[in-house]
Amino acid sequence: MPRSSSSALQALRKRRLDGERQAETALAEALAAHLRAEARDAELETAAVAARSAWAAARSSAPLPTTAGEAAAQFHYWARLEAAVKAALGAQDSHRAGALALAIRGAEAARGAHLVARQRREVVDKALARRAAAERLDRERRTEAELDDRARPPRA
């Protein structure tokens, strides 16, 4: 086997290994972004639950108004709490449809890119292993042939 093709495979392996490392870095960054988006989603969920709880508590514990002014104030208070619930749910929906979905897609794409980079490097590794095995077999055959030549008695 020519030495130049082996060194070309080694150079290709180095490039593929560099590509795999870059894909690993990109995957780590994408997974970190996904974790941050999941944490933000949990925060928004907590805020939505708190807003719903505040609205439900206000509705269940409110005394019956005795005047029109009290009824109007109570109505406005409940409306503000309901608006807070809607805002919290809207923020959560917006986050899930935007940043969280983007982070999930980014992580999936990074996983796919890393898989492809690893497979490309493994192809070169296998080619190098086949080349090394072929060279080893060739050396063994030459050694065996030399031993056979030495073991034969000289012809008279």
**CATH number for domain 3-148, candidates 1.10.3470, 3.40.1130, 3.30.310, 1.10.287:** 1.10.287
* DSSP sequence for the chain: --HHHHHHHHHHHHHHHHHHHHHHHHHHHHHHHHHHHHHHHHHHHHHHHHHHHHHHHHHHHPPPPSSHHHHHHHHHHHHHHHHHHHHHHHHHHHHIIIIIHHHHHHHHHHHHHHHHHHHHHHHHHHHHHHHHHHHHHHHHHHHHHHHHHHHSPPP-
> For the chain (length 156 residues), average pLDDT per consecutive 10?
71 96 97 98 97 93 90 93 96 97 98 97 94 94 87 68
Domain coordinates of the chain in residue numbers?
3-148
Please state the pTM of the whole predicted model. 0.74
